[in-house]
């Protein structure tokens, strides 16, 4: 069981600066975070979904490792290629080419599309460069863009993670799962479905 990295902690605090974040969650293992996400989601009747690129399904795998996750996790699309983002998520090709595959715009659009496709209350989108080589854009390896979509707002964030390919992917997965828990912990009212 691994602890949350300092990079993930610092990024989350800045990304969710207007949310209440209990310090205790940063001492949890990611497995414990997944358990807490389940507990909060079931208690508050929240549903989640996602669209993953850089993480290739790692987030969905971690969430579904908890028994009973089907009570709140509706699914995730692994849209690793540009064509899958266009054909499965229906992201506008012209804007995708203009904004870039690794951008906050793309991460937000992925999250919005996941909410629409899975009819969840909350969704995440994640895209980035894990290395060892990067795509056509002028972004550093380790750059990851995140999007979280809710009916009343969207949140985006870009974070640079250090390490090898799998270190970057793990940090990105941890960031999303912790972000979902922060959203669930701060949910106090009714969020209507799409």
Query: The domain spanning residue 40 has which CATH number?
Result: 3.90.950.20
- Three-state DSSP class for 99? helix
Query: Is 31 among the domain residues?
Result: yes
Residue 173: is its pLDDT beyond 50?
A: yes
Higher-pLDDT residue of 53, 194: 53
Higher-pLDDT residue of 6, 70: 70
Query: Is 110 among the domain residues?
Result: yes
Query: Is 23 among the domain residues?
Result: yes
Query: Is 190 among the domain residues?
Result: no
pLDDT at residue 6, rounded to an integer: 84
pLDDT at residue 48, rounded to an integer: 97
Q: Does the bond joining 132 to the residue before it have cis omega, within 30 degrees of 0?
A: yes
Q: Which residues contact 191 (CB under 8 A, 6 or more apart)?
A: 46, 121, 122, 150, 151, 152
Query: Is 192 among the domain residues?
Result: no
Q: What confidence tier does 1 reach under pLDDT thresholds 50, 70, 90?
A: low
Strands 143-150 and 73-78 turn out to be unpaired
Query: Is 194 among the domain residues?
Result: no
pLDDT at residue 2, rounded to an integer: 62
Question: Percent of the chain at pLDDT above 90?
Answer: 75
Which of 19-23, 118-122, 130-134 holds the top average pLDDT?
A: 118-122
Helices 30-44, 165-185: inter-axial angle, 10-degree rounding: 30
- Three-state DSSP class for 148? strand
Q: What totals of helices (H) and strands (E) does the chain contain, helices first? A: 7, 5
C-alpha closest to that of 114 among 157, 150, 145 = 150
Residue 193: is its pLDDT beyond 70?
A: no
Q: What confidence tier does 25 reach under pLDDT thresholds 50, 70, 90?
A: confident
Tell me how many domains the chain contains. 1
- Mean pLDDT, residues 32-42: 94
Residue 165: is its pLDDT beyond 50?
A: yes
Domain that holds residue 20: 6-185
Residue 34: is its pLDDT beyond 80?
A: yes
Query: Is 30 among the domain residues?
Result: yes
Helices 165-185, 6-15: inter-axial angle, 10-degree rounding: 40
Query: Is 178 among the domain residues?
Result: yes
pLDDT at residue 74, rounded to an integer: 98
> Is pTM, for the whole model, over 0.95?
no
β partners of residue 78: 52
Question: Cα separation of 175 and 4, whole Å?
Answer: 9
């Amino acid at each position: 069981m691994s602890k949350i990295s300092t990079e993930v902690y610092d990024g989350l605090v800045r990304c969710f600066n207007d949310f209440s974040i209990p310090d205790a969650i940063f001492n949890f293992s990611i497995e414990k975070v997944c358990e807490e996400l389940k507990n909060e989601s079931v208690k508050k009747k929240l549903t989640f979904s996602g669209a993953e690129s850089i993480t290739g399904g790692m987030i969905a795998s971690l969430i579904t490792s908890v028994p009973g996750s089907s009570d709140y996790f509706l699914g995730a699309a692994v849209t690793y290629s540009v064509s899958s983002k266009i054909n499965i998520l229906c992201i506008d090709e012209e804007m995708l080419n203009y904004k870039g595959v690794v951008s906050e715009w793309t991460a937000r659009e992925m999250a919005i599309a996941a909410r629409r496709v899975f009819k969840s209350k909350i969704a995440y989108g994640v895209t980035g460069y894990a290395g060892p080589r990067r795509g056509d854009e002028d972004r550093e390896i380790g750059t990851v863009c995140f999007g979280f979509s809710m009916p009343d707002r969207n949140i985006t964030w870009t974070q640079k993670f250090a390490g090898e390919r799998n270190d970057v992917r793990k940090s990105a997965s941890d960031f999303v799962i912790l972000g979902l828990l922060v959203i669930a912990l701060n949910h106090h009212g009714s969020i209507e479905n799409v």
